[in-house]
Amino acid sequence: MRFSRNGYFIEEYVKCSVSGALIYGEPYAEENGRIYADAWCRAWDRRAPGETIPLPRTPARATGQPPDLVMMNILDSMMVSICREMGIQLMKTSYSTIFNEGLDFTCALANVRGEMIACAEFCPTMIGGMPLLIDSCLKEIDLDSLEEGDVILHNDPYRGGLHMPEHTFFKPLFVNGELIAMAVCIGHIAEIGGMVPGAFAGEATEIFHEGLRVPPIKILKAGRDVDEVWKLLLANTRTPRTNYGDLRAMIGAVDLGVERLGQVLAKYGKEVFERTCDDLMDYSERRMRAEIAAFPDGLYGFEDTIEDDGITAAPHRIAVDILVQGDEIVADYGRSGPQARGPINATLGVTMGATYNGVLHMSDPGIPKNSGCFRPIKVLARPGSIANVNYPGPLVAGNTETHPRLANIVIGALSKALPERAMASESATSNNFVFGGQDPSGGSYFACYDLMSGGWGGRHGADGNDCVIAINGNCRFSPTEVFETRYPLTVEVCEMVQDSGGAGQWRGGLGLRRVLRIDDVAITVSQCTDRQSMPAFGLFGGQGGGLSKTLFAQNGSQEWGTARDRFNKVSTSKYANVTLHPNDRVELVTPGGGGYGDPRKRDPELVREDVAEGFVSPAAAKALYGRGACG
């Protein structure tokens, strides 16, 4: 990272050639045009075939005392409960549906070394993304410049972030004038300017199309609003009132986190707190190492295809090679395709978060989620690839589309080591249908980020769940009664899609179908989704899931066409700024999940029940599951 001499902007983003990590300060080494962040990366680059390079161990900070296991349990419960409390307050006070219905946010606590010491279970992308994000920000912020009551805001995807809608707030906690910890809150602000309302510009080709970028800056200084920052932020969005409410709510959340953590420190003191946090991270690391040690050693590769990037009608390969060596994992995305022209690129934070997400799905869910848990997992994402976008490449859909796809190929790769723990691919898209327009009554601008659920993949012993949000998030779907009250659209149909679950011994879950009609105001629509030509993959003989679909019909007609047919777009799944007029309709279908295992081994009783419930049609039951199966 090379800043300008005045410190106001970045002149060059320096990244490690092996891991893709941003390098603050001097690189460890530069050789033959290769830049290394640390000794491990250099050694990895020069390793002999088959040679394993153990990851560097976090130096022991033990004070010689054995960890107090009971205190660890107590502090972990308390800190997770603080993070939950922050999240609940955020849910209750925020203004946009993506926060308060969608719960698209996460709250965490960090120590001054930039390690995440606890977080609450809200949005998984952000949980996995948080460690890099906190670490990057703390490298950039001069800790000595912090005062009590400061609040820092940041959304820069190239500096540890995920995508620009994701805004992160940090508030330092001081005890007796000493900086001890940070309360952190990250959440999705739906509308941040840029070329389309709602940020998801399917045709963005650079970051500037996607909205306003905010490097780490103080939005509050010593407890007082920095008016200039507020004015600048709110002048660059179509929905300043809503953004104001959401930003205030996030500040309320970090205020609460600092207050509550302060009470914990008052009770236990700094020394016990810091030692126990270190013990807790070591503990999570130990738990994760024990999980990985139980995976058979080996190199497991898996790949999948993203159908297009919205700009070029050509597929993009995403691939991972997972090396399980003893109690460590190296996940290398080197075989993935080059950086895309359209917005499907992942930042390093997204790729790391997706890898953690995939591994966490394959391991014990009870491990406390903190930075320690991710120490035995090394992510390698080549700079300038679809898995590690370089400035100023577009990336808004990387967090919602490419994240779940990467997490699913991690699960796919590990399925080769642990077949009974794996899941076939889920829908792995958030659907990301966004629209905006002028409110007919008040004249103010509205914007909506609408996400939809799809099918889970089949698992060993269980069918995929129907209509569940992709595993990068844990958002809730907006009720029709809320949606129609807030926006000038009518939902004509909201139903599950018959036969969309990939056939298998355990079938995939069903996708969702909605038909929306535009009421009395024209709206501008954009979308970033995928799986309209390539289905969610099955595993072990299971079949792919049903395809996703977006179709338009004008002014009450029954003639349906894709964005390509109707609006001359390159892609049917990623497009920007389509205008829909009153009485136009749009049909949105989400993908079903892939099947697990040979469909012919499916219990005939389950097939009969599926047919009786209408999840599978009699014809499909006969074709996919064989004679007699549909009773």
Partner 1 sequence: MRYTVGVDVGGTFTDFVLHDRTGNQVSAWKQLTVPGDPVTGILTGIDGRASHEEIANFRIGTTVATNAVLERSGAVVAYITTRGFRDVPFIQRGNRRFHYDMNWVKPKPLVKRRHCFELTERLNYKGEITTPLDEAELREIAARIKADPSIGAVAICLLFSYLNPAHEIRARDVLAEELPGLPVSTSYEVVPKWKEYERASTTIADAYLKPIVASQMREMKRRLEEGGQTAPKAVIKSNGGETLPEAAADFPIHLLVSGPSGGVIASRFLAETTKTRNLVTLDMGGTSTDVATVVDGKERFTTSFEIEWGVPIQIPMLDIRTIGAGGGSIAWIDKGGMLRVGPQSAGAAPGPACYGRGGANATVTDAHVVLGRISPANFLGGKMRLDVEAARAATKRLADRLGMSIDETAVAILRIATINMIGALRSVLVEGGFDHRDFVLAAFGGAGPTMAADVIAEMGISTAIIPHNPGQFSAYGFLHTNARVDRQRTLMMTSRDFDAARAAALMQVLIGEGVDELATQNYSSDLEIACRLDMRYQGQNYELELEVPPEIVGPEGAEGLWQAFHDAHRARFGFDNPGETIEIVTFSTVVSARTVHPVSPRLKTGDLAPVPRSRREVGFARGRVDTPIFWRDDLLASQRIDGPAIVEEAASVTIIPPGQNLTVDPFGHLVLNTDG
User: Binding to partner 1 (CB under 8 A): which residues in 77-116?
Assistant: 77, 81, 84-85, 88-89, 91-97, 100-101, 103
605 binds partner 1 (CB under 8 A): no
Query: Which of 366, 443, 520, 568 lies at the binding interface for partner 1 (CB under 8 A)?
Result: 366
**Cβ 225 to partner 1 shortest distance, Å:** 11
CA–CA distance, 610 with 630 (Å, rounded to integer): 9
Residue 545 identity (one-letter amino acid): G
Structure tokens at 37: 């962040």
Give the total of residues touching partner 1 (CB under 8 A). Answer: 86
283 binds partner 1 (CB under 8 A): yes
Query: Which of 2, 47, 231, 241 lies at the binding interface for partner 1 (CB under 8 A)?
Result: 241
Q: Which is nearer to partner 1, 134 or 367 (CB)?
A: 367
Please state, in angstroms and as integers, the Cα–Cα distance from residue 211 to each residue in 197, 236, 394, 529, following that order: 9, 8, 11, 19
452 binds partner 1 (CB under 8 A): yes
365: phi then psi, degrees, rounded to nearest 5:
-70, -10
Backbone conformation region of residue 218, classed left if phi is above 0, alpha if psi is from -120 to 50, else beta: beta
Q: Which is nearer to partner 1, 23 or 360 (CB)?
A: 360
Q: Which residues pair with 111 in a beta bridge?
A: 181
| Cβ-based neighbour number of residue 498 at 10 Å | 18
Among 335-343, 418-426, 580-588, 618-626, the segment contacting partner 1 (CB under 8 A) = 418-426
Q: Specify the DSSP element, H or E, that contains 449.
A: strand 445-450
- Reported residue count of the chain is 631
34: phi then psi, degrees, rounded to nearest 5:
-100, 140
**Cβ 44 to partner 1 shortest distance, Å:** 28
Q: Which is nearer to partner 1, 104 or 203 (CB)?
A: 104
**Are 380 and 335 a contacting pair, CB within 8 Å?**
no
Among 3-11, 138-146, 415-423, 535-543, the segment contacting partner 1 (CB under 8 A) = 415-423
**Cβ 549 to partner 1 shortest distance, Å:** 17
554 binds partner 1 (CB under 8 A): no
CA–CA distance, 614 with 348 (Å, rounded to integer): 43
Q: Which is nearer to partner 1, 158 or 435 (CB)?
A: 435
481 binds partner 1 (CB under 8 A): yes
Binding mask 45-74 vs partner 1 (x if CB under 8 A, - otherwise)? ------------------------xx-xxx
Residue 531 identity (one-letter amino acid): R
**Cβ 476 to partner 1 shortest distance, Å:** 4
C-alpha radius of gyration, the chain, whole number: 24
124 binds partner 1 (CB under 8 A): yes
**Are 1 and 362 a contacting pair, CB within 8 Å?**
no
479 binds partner 1 (CB under 8 A): yes
**Are 388 and 406 a contacting pair, CB within 8 Å?**
no
Among 8-16, 18-26, 245-253, 311-319, the segment contacting partner 1 (CB under 8 A) = 245-253
Near partner 1 in 287-346, by CB under 8 A: 287, 290-291
248 binds partner 1 (CB under 8 A): yes
469 binds partner 1 (CB under 8 A): yes
Nearest to 258 by CA among 160, 354, 152: 152
Among 158-166, 182-190, 478-486, 545-553, the segment contacting partner 1 (CB under 8 A) = 478-486
Structure tokens at 496: 């599950």
CA–CA distance, 136 with 132 (Å, rounded to integer): 6
Structure tokens at 537: 């993959």
Query: Which of 14, 261, 379, 475 lies at the binding interface for partner 1 (CB under 8 A)?
Result: 475
